[in-house]
Amino acid sequence: MPAPRTPARASTTRSTTSNRARPTSRTAPSARTRTGTPRRDGRPPLTPAEAAALREAKALREAQLRRELEARREAVALRQAVAARPDVTPEQLAAARAAVAARRSSSTARPGTRGTKRPAAGRTAARRTPARTRGRRTTTAPERTGTRWSTRIGVVATSALLLPAALALGLPAPGQLGGATDTTTLALTARSSLLEQTDHYRRLEQAADQRRARLQQAQLAEQDARERVAAQRSTVGVSAAALYRSAPVDRLPVLGLDAREAAATPAVLLRQAVADEAGLGVQASVVRAERAAADLRAARARVAAARAELAVAEERAEEVLATVRAEVDDLSPEVSGVLAGIGSIPVAGPQQARNDTVMRRWQEYLGRLAAAGIAPPSAASITDPAALPDGFSAALDPDGAPLPGVVWSVIGSEPVTVLPAETVAAVSNALSQLGKPFVPGATGPETYDCAGFTRASWLMGGYALAGTPQDQWARGAAVPLRDLQVGDLVFSPGGTDVGMYLGDGDVVGASAATYQVGVRSLDPGSSAVRVTATAPAAANAPLPALADSTGACGAPLPAPGPVSAAWGGWSNGRIPVEALCRLGVDGHALRCDAAASYGLLAEAYTAEFGTPLCITDSYRSFGGQVAAYYRKPSLAALPGTSNHGWALAVDLCDGINVAGTPQWRWMTANAARFGFVQPDWARPGGEKPEPWHWEYGRIS
């Protein structure tokens, strides 16, 4: 790699200065003259101009990093300061930001510069070597660029202190709320921070799972070593007992030698040889026992180390959850209300109206709390009904017993149930995912299954749930249906589906029955647990399984014969692309379960033929159907009636589109294993032969 070159402008400046100082330039080193000894890597040394350019580039990079660090710290300080004063108006917020920016600029400017631009590389007076110093080595102090860590920390700390102070200037009287733009900014900032924390938790959770697996392996190895030690000790013990009970002549047959019985000598020597061999065997058993004991000690050390590593990982993960809980405890009801409306996907028909009704009810509830100045308390602060924060009283069930995890307050003369801040955050984040697609085994943030949805929602509230509906039920604090509160987890009969209760008989969840996150009715006979209540010491008994109701996450069992393709509340061709899953080829997409099956079909096809599965058409919007009908009225279906409009049909190519080819025959023999069939009308000899057309399930 060649050494960095000095910009032409800097080189010209140095040459001009040198010529003015001395008419003959032969005795003065040129700006590109390399002096000094070669570097260790063999490359020539840098010229002073090149070294200056490198220093300048390094200073610029460090300045950029410093600005990014300052910006992040200011964002955190802004969120914390404004969260403490939700009555800040947008104008005051802008003025505070401007004041902080101005004071930061004045505090970071070097003395004597008055905020002017730094001279370009090679043009500073400090770099002009006086004529009297040329020809001999000089030592100059390096220019300070303000990038020392002490300077950086001082500037960042100054910003963190200035921002709350600036917000304290000219604030309105209490009770005057900030503007919608300000609240939206705070909600977006809070959501970004929470997502960052939950991602961090998931990474730590994966590390903990790996360490948990290593601990299990170490424990199995320890058990094996313990068994080997026991076996070796048993062998040594048996041999030692036999020697103890034997007579001296049995232990040492040579003692039985008698000069008067010379004929018995060979037999005695033979017995001695046998005894010696047995003694060697005992010694070997002792050695093996000692080695087994050493292996056991090493295995125990590995178990202890693995257990310690797991404890560290779990402790770090719990610290992240505590950070999340602390952040949501600081969220105002206004910000939580805005959070609920961020990120949802619109659906069509009655489902959208139902989603809107629940969203409006939730935001109105938070608005009432905000107008009354009621901040949801933390879950930890309301665990003891006898020591509640000021302004709250214990919520009671119909029998007069305290309800765990919720409290009452008063707005005007009307009592109102106040949920913990963690529950508010979990419900708001659940509602923000309305319309997202259902995908088995998915945990977000774009697709979910039922347990993945409730787990992701509550993780944003600072609680980590198990990964299946059955485990979420087993580890939760069970509550009777009569005491249901918003945020409780509700399980359908049989325990295969789970959602989050929203009040008034409504539940939000990711259901396989509708292939999306949506609001549905509470199933009769459901069971429930409360996340913020103290979990039971023993796991709840498994819910009774139902023989013939639904599959996982509410998936309907297969019905014989053709089924309706309508799903999600959308009409044909009106499905938003956000509710679909991409196939990874030219923007093609299908309903998520069909897309997953198509991926498996494509893998099997590629393994058979060595070429990718060729596709020409998948989901076709209403506009796409109109265009197709205009181009090919004899082939395309009437707009709004195409099976492609349900995101469940594909058109394939590269041989599959011709009946009788090896590719087509392979599809007819194997596609059904992945849920794809060719309808009768599209088969050879059918009403409208289209060998390229395949559908996920019998929808026509």
CB neighbours of 389 closer than 8 A, spacing ≥ 6?
377, 381, 382
Nearest 10 degrees: CA dihedral of 483, 487, 493, 495? -130
Q: Is the predicted pLDDT of residue 38 greater than 80, yes or no?
A: no
CATH topology of domain 375-554: endopeptidase fold (from Nostoc punctiforme) (3.90.1720)
- 521 pLDDT band, cuts 50/70/90, is very high
**Three-class SS of residue 126?**
helix
Q: Is the predicted pLDDT of residue 225 greater than 70, yes or no?
A: yes
Phi, psi of 95, rounded to the nearest 5 degrees:
-65, -40
Q: What was the pLDDT predicted at 695? A: 93
Q: What was the pLDDT predicted at 404? A: 92
Q: What was the pLDDT predicted at 340? A: 93
The most confident of 2-11, 292-301, 364-373, by mean pLDDT: 364-373
Q: Is the predicted pLDDT of residue 396 greater than 60, yes or no?
A: yes
Q: What was the pLDDT predicted at 33? A: 44
CATH architecture of 577-696: 2-Layer Sandwich (3.30)
Q: In what order do the strands lie in the sheet with 498-503?
A: 477-479, 527-530, 489-491, 498-503, 506-511, 516-521
**Three-class SS of residue 372?**
coil
> What's 468's DSSP letter?
S
Q: What was the pLDDT predicted at 571? A: 87
CB neighbours of 119 closer than 8 A, spacing ≥ 6?
none
> How far are the Cα atoms of 343, 448, 465, 648 from residue 584, in angstroms, in the given order?
23, 19, 32, 16
Q: Which of 228-232, 411-415, 468-472, 532-536 has the lowest mean pLDDT?
A: 228-232
Segment 128-149 shows an average pLDDT of 38
Q: What was the pLDDT predicted at 99? A: 55
- 259 pLDDT band, cuts 50/70/90, is confident
Q: Is the predicted pLDDT of residue 364 greater than 60, yes or no?
A: yes
Q: Which of 44-53, 151-160, 283-292, 478-487 has the lowest mean pLDDT?
A: 151-160
Q: CA angle, 55 as apex, 50 and 57 as ends, to 5°?
A: 95
Q: What was the pLDDT predicted at 170? A: 37
The structure tokens listed for 107 are 């505090």
Give the span between the Cα atoms of 647 and 580, in whole angstroms.
8
**Three-class SS of residue 94?**
helix
- 14 pLDDT band, cuts 50/70/90, is very low
- 70 pLDDT band, cuts 50/70/90, is low
- 135 pLDDT band, cuts 50/70/90, is very low
Q: Is the predicted pLDDT of residue 285 greater than 80, yes or no?
A: no
Q: What was the pLDDT predicted at 545? A: 79
pLDDT-above-90 percentage for the chain: 42
Segment 614-643 shows an average pLDDT of 87
Q: In what order do the strands lie in the sheet with 414-418?
A: 393-396, 402-411, 414-418
The pTM score is 0.62
Give the span between the Cα atoms of 618 and 598, in whole angstroms.
11
- 66 pLDDT band, cuts 50/70/90, is low
> How far are the Cα atoms of 71, 238, 242, 292, 650 from residue 231, in angstroms, in the given order?
66, 11, 17, 9, 65
Segment 536-556 shows an average pLDDT of 80
Q: What was the pLDDT predicted at 172? A: 36
Q: What does the radius of gyration of the chain's CA atoms come to, in whole angstroms?
A: 38
602 residue type, one letter = A
Segment 12-32 shows an average pLDDT of 39
Total residue length of the chain: 700
Q: Which of 407-416, 631-640, 688-697 has the lowest mean pLDDT?
A: 631-640
Give the span between the Cα atoms of 101 and 99, in whole angstroms.
5
Give the span between the Cα atoms of 225 and 233, in whole angstroms.
12
How high is the mean pLDDT of the chain? 78
Q: Which of 15-24, 198-207, 233-242 has the lowest mean pLDDT?
A: 15-24
Q: What was the pLDDT predicted at 168? A: 41
* Ramachandran quadrant class, 654 (left: phi over 0; alpha: psi -120 to 50; beta: rest): left
Segment 137-155 shows an average pLDDT of 38
Segment 442-446 shows an average pLDDT of 87
The most confident of 41-50, 193-202, 280-289, by mean pLDDT: 193-202
Q: What was the pLDDT predicted at 171? A: 35
- 563 pLDDT band, cuts 50/70/90, is low
Segment 475-500 shows an average pLDDT of 94
Q: What was the pLDDT predicted at 183? A: 86
- 422 pLDDT band, cuts 50/70/90, is very high
CB-side exposure of 251: number of CA atoms within 13 Å? 11
pLDDT-above-70 percentage for the chain: 70
Q: What was the pLDDT predicted at 176? A: 37
Residue the block writes with tokens 């993960």: 317
- Which residue would you say has higher pLDDT here, 25 or 315? 315
- 454 pLDDT band, cuts 50/70/90, is very high
Q: Is the predicted pLDDT of residue 156 greater than 60, yes or no?
A: no
Q: What was the pLDDT predicted at 200? A: 93
Segment 160-166 shows an average pLDDT of 43
Q: Is the predicted pLDDT of residue 132 greater than 60, yes or no?
A: no
Phi, psi of 257, rounded to the nearest 5 degrees:
-65, 140
Q: What was the pLDDT predicted at 643? A: 87
